Structure 1
Amino acid sequence: MTSLEIKNFKCFTDISIPINRLTVFAGGNANGKSSAIQALLFLRRTIEHCAIWTDDSNDTNYHFNKSNGLSVELNGSYGLSLGTSSEVISFNANEQCIQLGINIKQSKLLVEYDVPVEDVLWLKPDNVNNNLKNDFYLFKQEFYYLNAERVGPRVNNDIKFYDFPNTGYNGSLCAQLLGDPSFEYGFKVDEKRKFENTNNLRLGTQVNKWLNYILPGNEVEGVFNTKLMSSQIRMKNSFSNNESVLATNIGFGLSYVLPIILTALIAKQDTLFIVENPEAHLHPSAQSRIGKFLTKMASTGINIIIETHSDHVLNGIQIAVTKNDLPPDQTTINYFSNDGKNTQPSIESIKINNKGELSKWPSGFFDQSQKDYATLLKLRKND
């Protein structure tokens, strides 16, 4: 099992968080889920900025056995807004040092940052201890992350250069990927990720097949214009008489789910894909289906971390595991909670068996519906 190691970062003083092929971060607000993701993102940014990149075309991985001496910005990359150094070091830290790392059995990556006494906008890795294999997903050039605050419907989106095909951390590059014919026609979706009973592996075809599964009756197309340096998503459904309309005339749900579908279909094998709040702006039935979709995509070789507040997403994952879309031992749910007594959030790891049953159901873990039903029954009895 892989684990994310965090020491003295924000709300965490010293914690180990299990990471699996499919990992779910769940729990109440302000209980550390986002901080854990931020720690992972900052570790990734440290690797990008401070590791060695070779000129070998056959080696597209970062080499990180020592730091190159550069500092790492706390704000900007991956949409991070961590503020200053005094904001990121834990209030309960007993030393001016932050440690972030990965542990896999007897192998590990550990990065230490000495936090300056003065307030600065960066952290500098002072010590790197790494004996992980160089093909570990954090060292690969391809890395995929979707922020909770994704780009909503837009008339146009800018087009940009990218080192590898991705939708951007806020989904703003979806129109470019789907509209650029040199990419969209040249890319073939992995056979294992295609929608059932389809043979056309063209990206646009597969995006629309999965989109129709999650949001029935909807279809998208991309428009790409280098002269105007812009791209556009156009959508159609039965209400538009199958004529394409501006994305702004459809709504947020489709704009928020499109980058999830697109990223999962283009992600390279054995890479990492982090998505926050995949349920945002979606009807409960679509939330369940996005859970099933992401479970299916994890089974094709993508490592996926989901941060969610939706019991419907969890239901979709449980159903997919029961249908053997992903082996139960490749799924982990981490429940973040705070009892008010500890100096950092508590994390309970929950397993799913082959019947979709959870190994435990802690208090506060997706139990609000049952609590509300019980309250209603009491109120009705008192009438």
Structure 2
Amino acid sequence: MLEKAANKENNILLDGHGSIEEIKNNRVKENISLQVRDENNHSLTATISLSSDLKIDIKDTFDYPEVIYISANRFGPQTSIPIYNNSAKKDRIGKNGENLLQCIELLGDTVLDERLRHVNAEGDTLEYNIRGWLNTVSPNVGFKFHLEKMSDSSYSMFDEHRANNVGFGLSYTLPVITALLMGTFIKNSLVIIENPEAHLHPKGQTELARLAALCAVVGAQIIVETHSDHFFDGIRIAAKRHGIAEDVQIHWFELNEHKNTEVYSPILSEDGRVSEWPKGFFDQFEINASELI
């Protein structure tokens, strides 16, 4: 919404979510104020009037980042994936994974920070490390892709099998890995990932969190929405190993009995410990384990 506001778009609602009457909380009467502030104290503030015409007042001294957004609704295994012909988007990923493979082809030779190099990667480039990290998440799997530019489509293969003949985790994870790595070299970018853990086993979820943390170490700005305690533990481990606890913000959202959202923000310490554990905050493993004692 803030991105649309910054671009002065008339309809700042997210596509496909209907009118303001459908999405607003009817128990809230006051206006909503959203603010983004960068490290140089530049800010963008959007004050939104909850009227039927959704009036918005913008105060902007902010250089809005390029958003690299991978949604929870991203493509699973597909026979083909569309590619973009628009020159402005040819090297960018769509929110559902559109244009992913053309993006890898065009940016694949980009040299990454050496700290991101996967131990099994054949080189320092984006494509080599996509393959390396994909192999960590799903061990011993080869990855190939091909573009059909005359039909604006592309397809991927895993161990010479088409994508819809292998596990869902490969297709769901590929755009996540690519977006995270891209966030380390696209200047003034913000990577937003929904449910990176989808269709991955616990080790793969933890490794993906390690990659996200490494990308943050080299300067990527990342927002992750997750339901995975394995991913969360991966971030905690990375905070302990790489000293990034001060750069990690944790927010837990819970709907109260009045249908309003309460936000808890535990603090992560340098040793990966969490300052507080609100009820329901990644505590189900302990609850289940206590039932088995």
**Which secondary structure state, in structure 1, belongs to the residue aligned with residue 45 of structure 2?**
strand
**What's the offset of the Cα at 1:278?**
0.6
* CA deviation vs aligned residue, 1:187-210 (integer Å, no higher than 9, x gap): 333434222475622332111111
1:306 Cα offset (Å)? 0.8
CA contact (8 A) 1:151 1:171 kept: yes
- How much has 1:251 moved relative to structure 2? 2.0
2:45 equivalent to 1:45: no
Q: 1:282 to 1:199 in 2, by over 3 A?
A: closer
2-side partners of 1:293 and 1:254: how far apart?
16
Residue number among 101, 104, 115 corresponding to 2:35 in the alignment: 101
Q: Is the 8 A contact 1:333 1:350 kept in 2?
A: yes
1:166 equivalent to 2:92? Answer yes
Q: Write the deviation string for residues 319-340 of structure 1: whole angstroms up to 9, x where unpaired.
A: 111111x421111211112342
Residues 211-233 of structure 1 deviation map (CA, whole Å, 9 limit, x = unaligned): 11222111212201212321111
Report how far residue 103 of structure 1 moved: 4.5
Q: For 1:3-49, what per-residue CA distance to the aligned partner results, in whole angstroms no more than 9, with x for missing partners?
A: xxxxxxxxxxxxxxxxxxxxxxxxxxxxxxxxxxxxxxx1112223x
Tell me which residue corresponds to 2:124. 201
Cα offset for 1:114? 3.4
Specify the SS of the correspondent of 1:201.
coil
Find the aligned partners of 1:273 and 1:201 in 2 and give their Cα distance: 21
- Is residue 2:215 matched to residue 1:280? no
Matches within 5 A, 1:116-131: 116-117=51-52, 123-125=54-56, 127-131=57-61
Q: Which has the higher contact order (CA 8 A, sep 6+)?
A: 1
Amino acid at match of 2:5: T
- Structure 2 residue aligned with 1:215, among 138, 150, 165? 138
Q: Which structure shows the bigger proportion of residues in strand conformation?
A: 1
Name the CA shift for 1:199/1:283 in 2 (closer, same or farther; >3 Å).
Answer: closer
**Separation (CA, whole Å) in 2 of partners of 1:339 and 1:184:** 45
1:291 to 2:209 alignment = yes
Match of 1:85 in 2: 20
Identical aligned residues as a percent:
28
Q: Does 1:346 align with 2:262?
A: yes
* Structure 2 residue 234 is matched with structure 1 residue 310: no
Kept in 2, the 8 Å contact 1:269–1:301? The answer is: no
Equivalent position SS for 1:187: coil
Per the normalisation by structure 1, the TM-score is 0.69
Equivalence map 1:186-265=2 (5 Å): 186-196=109-119, 200-236=123-159, 244-265=160-181
CA apart distance, 1:284:
0.9
* Equivalent position of 1:323 in the other structure: 241
Q: Which letter does structure 2 place at the counterpart of 1:299?
A: V
Are 2:266 and 2:275, in contact at CA under 8 Å, matched by a contact in 1?
A: yes
| 1:287 to partner: Cα distance | 0.8
- In structure 1, what is the Cα distance between the partners aligned to 2:226 and 2:74? 15
Query: 2: CA distance between counterparts of 1:217 and 1:71?
Result: 48
Give the distance between the partners of 1:72 and 1:129, measured in 2 at CA: 17
Count of residue pairs brought into register by the alignment: 288
TM-score scaled to structure 2, two decimals? Answer: 0.89
Shift in Å, 1:94: 2.3
Conservation of the 8 A alpha-carbon contact between 1:82 and 1:88: yes
Counterpart for residue 57 of structure 1: none
State the distance in 2 between where 1:323 and 1:144 align.
Answer: 27
The answer to whether the 8 A contact 1:71-1:124 is kept is no
Change (3 A) 1:343 1:250: closer
